[in-house]
Amino acid sequence: MNENDILDSCLNALRQGATLASCVEKHPELSEESLAILQAAARLHDAGKRLAPDPAFKRRVRSNLMKRIAADQARRAVPARTQPAAPGLLQRWRAFLSGWRGSGLGWQPLAAALAFILIVTLSAGIVSAARGALPGAPLYPVKRLSEQARSILRRDDILWRLELAQHRLDEAVRLASQGDDATMDDALAAYVAILDDVARLLHDPTIFNAVASQAEPRAILLRQLDQLTTLRLQTPSHEATVDRAISAAARVLELLYPNAQPTPASTPAQPIQPAAPSGTPLPPTPSARPSPTLIVMPTAVMPQPTATAAPPTPTMPQPTATAAPPTPTMPQPTPTSPPAPTVQPPTATPVMPGPPTATTPPMATPPPTSEPAQTPTHQPPAATMTPPTPTMVPSTATPQPPTPTPQPPAPTMRAPTATSAPPMPPTVTIMPPAP
Amino acid sequence: MPDTAAANERIWIRQAQQGDAEAFARLYEQHVDAIYRYIALRVPSQQHVEDLTEEVFWRAWQAIDRFRPERPFLHWLYRIAHNLVINDARRAEKHRSYEMMTDMGHALMDETPSPEENLFRQEDIQQLRQAMTTLSPDEQTLLTMRFFDGASYDDIAPVLGKRPGALRVLQHRALKKLAKQLAPMRTVA
């Protein structure tokens, strides 16, 4: 056994309670250095025996510990009841920041990203809030700017421009309801400008072909005409402005659907026969596809008809240039169709009684209806009435060429109710499709 | 540790991990003496020893969920005490020295110290504490666990993160340094 082994043996003996004297007695050959080591270990062991806390200290520390533990348990119990199981937004954010800190990417990219997100969010919020802004409102320029930005991307998009026109019209309606007639005029002027732009674009065959086959522009324009008619009733002092808007909408409607859509400004007026053709056969139905019926009843202040519009004669109605309604002299399309009236206007149902006077040329020509009215629902006014007006007749939106099997006439026409004295505003009525 | 005591300790540990403060109090009573000795031999202030002893068990309670039962609980406590003492020594270093703390602590104490304080102030204990300060923290822990608590190298290895074979060499070197420090003191005394 060498010196180190003896030393280890003695150290182990000391750790287990043996005395230094017993070890020295057992191994007298130990060196001075080993003896010093053993003496140090013995002192250490002896000190460990004496260094013991008194009971008061242990009770004191125990009491402190129990108080701290109780407080800790109470603190943990409250969040456990109130906090949801999933980490909250704050905890997730802290975890994200902690992860970012550990990634070593630095704070500048994170700050830039957060600033970008903040700007985009605020911008989107402002633009969203500006959607309902009216002219004169602080956010209205933002609304127009947003529209202009989108217009750049949708330069040749007719639907987008019609949507823009709808925005201006909606603004005009809201301004009218608020009594702000002057600003309403501005909104309507903007509406007309947009529709003029649409009309210009429609001369491009590519654009025209892309949109003419769609039904949505027609629906938008018809809705706008309806809104304008209502607006005209609400703002009689701004008839001229509203009428310009009506003409613009009607013009676009005719451009888009030249064979189907009657417009007050493009079709010659039709004379109204005093004797309503009640029960008389009407032009055959061109197609089975139902379509809404547009009734426009302009007054004397309506825009003048186009130069091609011929004043009606008392006896011979003038067919429109685009429509191909049966004339009195035209043969009936089918042998089975009822006999055509000899002096019947092209439209299925006459709306205005009495022959128009020479001083009040008709404003528009009623095109033939696709769904001929079987039984007129109105009574012609008395012959003594002097309505300067209404030469407008109802018409269906999509007149089609006569078919060999004409459908029975349907009551699609709405008769003018009052044609005397105060001039009636033009009304645009969407009639339900004929069955 | 007898088998019964070891079995009881495992039960208390499991109960404490489930939030049973009384079970943790039993663990405290079982190991407070060893932790106190371990700290008292390395910290010169009695009040400071008490504070650190309480802090060791408080941190043990906070982290008991992470304790792995396959390891001896006392050794886990030693590891906590080891880290606390080292950090405390670093803080004391910033406040110039332990001596200043000791002087200040004594000044605040009663003029008639308790029997425990008298023991704490005994000369041989003071000499031993002073000699221990010349050792590294690992050496201090090794000697304390070996000669205060009779721990084996295998028990100490996970506390210090060293292999048992290395601990034998470390113990020899530490005792040699301690003996060298204590020899002149004994001569003077």
Question: Is A293 within 8 Å of A396 (Cβ atoms)?
Answer: yes
Would you tell me how many other CB atoms lie within 10 Å of the CB of residue B72? 18
Is residue B78 within 8 angstroms of chain A, CB to CB?
A: no
Contact A43 B128 (CB under 8 A): yes
What is residue B91's DSSP assignment? H
| CATH class entry, domain B1-115 | mainly alpha
Contact B36 A15 (CB under 8 A): no
Q: Which of residues 150-169 of B touch A (CB under 8 A)?
A: 150, 168
Q: DSSP of A369-385, one letter per residue?
A: PSS--SS--SPPPPTT-
Q: Which of B42, B55, B141, B146 to mutate to test the interface with A (most CBs of A within 10 A)?
A: B146
State the nearest Cα–Cα gap between B54 and chain A, in angstroms: 6
* Residue A297: per-residue pLDDT: 45
Chain A environment of B182 (Cβ under 8 Å): 36, 39-40, 43
Length of chain B, in residues: 189
Q: DSSP of A212-273, one letter per residue?
A: HT-SHHHHHHHHHHHHHHHHHHH-GGGHHHHHHHHHHHHHHHHHHSTTT---TTTS---PPP
Chain B environment of A62 (Cβ under 8 Å): 25, 28-29, 32
CA torsion sign for A367, A372, A375, A377 is negative
Q: Which of A23, A30, A31, A44 to mutate to test the interface with B (most CBs of B within 10 A)?
A: A44
State the nearest Cα–Cα gap between B4 and chain A, in angstroms: 21
What is residue B66's DSSP assignment? G
A282 Cβ partners below 8 Å, 6+ apart?
A338, A344, A348, A349, A372, A373, A374, A409
* Residue A359: per-residue pLDDT: 41
Question: Is B135 within 8 Å of B177 (Cβ atoms)?
Answer: yes
B172 Cβ partners below 8 Å, 6+ apart?
A4, A7, A37
CA torsion sign for B150, B153, B158, B159 is positive
Q: Tokens 């010659």 sit at which residue?
A: A268
CA–CA distance, A6 with A66 (Å, rounded to integer) = 47
Is residue B21 within 8 angstroms of chain A, CB to CB?
A: yes
Query: What topology is assigned to B122-189 in CATH?
Result: Arc Repressor Mutant, subunit A (1.10.10)
Chain A environment of B37 (Cβ under 8 Å): 48, 51-52
Instruction: Identify which of B181, B179, B137, B180 has the alpha carbon closest to the alpha carbon of residue B162.
Output: B137
| Rounded mean pLDDT, B68-87 | 86
Chain A environment of B24 (Cβ under 8 Å): 65, 69
Angle (nearest 5°) at CA A329 between A327 and A330: 65
Contact B58 A47 (CB under 8 A): no
What residues of chain A score a pLDDT lower than 50?
A: 261-435
State the nearest Cα–Cα gap between B97 and chain A, in angstroms: 23
* Residue B148: per-residue pLDDT: 83
CA torsion sign for B150, B153, B159, B160 is positive
Q: Point out the least confidently predicted range of A315-329, B62-76, B116-130.
A: A315-329
* Residue A329: per-residue pLDDT: 42
Question: Is A350 within 8 Å of A246 (Cβ atoms)?
Answer: no
Amino acid letter for position B15: Q
* Residue B22: per-residue pLDDT: 93
Contact B175 A72 (CB under 8 A): no
What percent of chain B is predicted at pLDDT more than 90? Answer: 28
Would you tell me how many other CB atoms lie within 10 Å of the CB of residue A101? 12
Chain B environment of A68 (Cβ under 8 Å): 58, 61
Angle (nearest 5°) at CA B85 between B82 and B87: 105
Q: Is the ipTM of this complex over 0.85?
A: no
Give the tokens for residue A252.
């676009």
Amino acid letter for position A168: R
Contact A54 B115 (CB under 8 A): yes
Task: List the single residue in A with minimal CA-CA distance to B49.
Answer: A53
Instruction: Identify which of A422, A254, A392, A418 has the alpha carbon closest to the alpha carbon of residue A323.
Output: A254
Strand order in the sheet with A395-396: A395-396, A293-296, A428-431
Q: Which of residues 107-126 of B touch A (CB under 8 A)?
A: 114-116, 119-120, 122, 124-125
Measured N-to-C along each axis, helices B137-148 and B153-160 cross at an angle, to the nearest 10 degrees, of: 150
Cβ burial of A301 (10 Å; 0-12, 13-18, 19+) is middle
Contact A57 B33 (CB under 8 A): no
pLDDT, one tens digit per residue, over A299-345 is: 434 444 444 444 444 444 444 444 444 444 444 444 444 444 444 44
Is residue B61 within 8 angstroms of chain A, CB to CB?
A: yes
Length of chain A, in residues: 435
First to last CA, chain A: 121
* Residue A335: per-residue pLDDT: 41
Chain A environment of B185 (Cβ under 8 Å): none
| Rounded mean pLDDT, B141-162 | 85
Contact B32 A7 (CB under 8 A): no
Q: Point out the least confidently predicted range of A176-185, A213-222, B83-92, B120-129.
A: B120-129
Instruction: Identify which of A280, A251, A378 has the alpha carbon closest to the alpha carbon of residue A338.
Output: A280
State the nearest Cα–Cα gap between A40 and chain B, in angstroms: 5
Chain A environment of B28 (Cβ under 8 Å): 61-62, 65
CA–CA distance, B159 with B76 (Å, rounded to integer) = 7
Q: DSSP of A123-168, one letter per residue?
A: HHHHHHHHTTPPTTSTTHHHHHHHHHHHHHHTTT-HHHHHHHHHHH
A308 Cβ partners below 8 Å, 6+ apart?
A268, A321
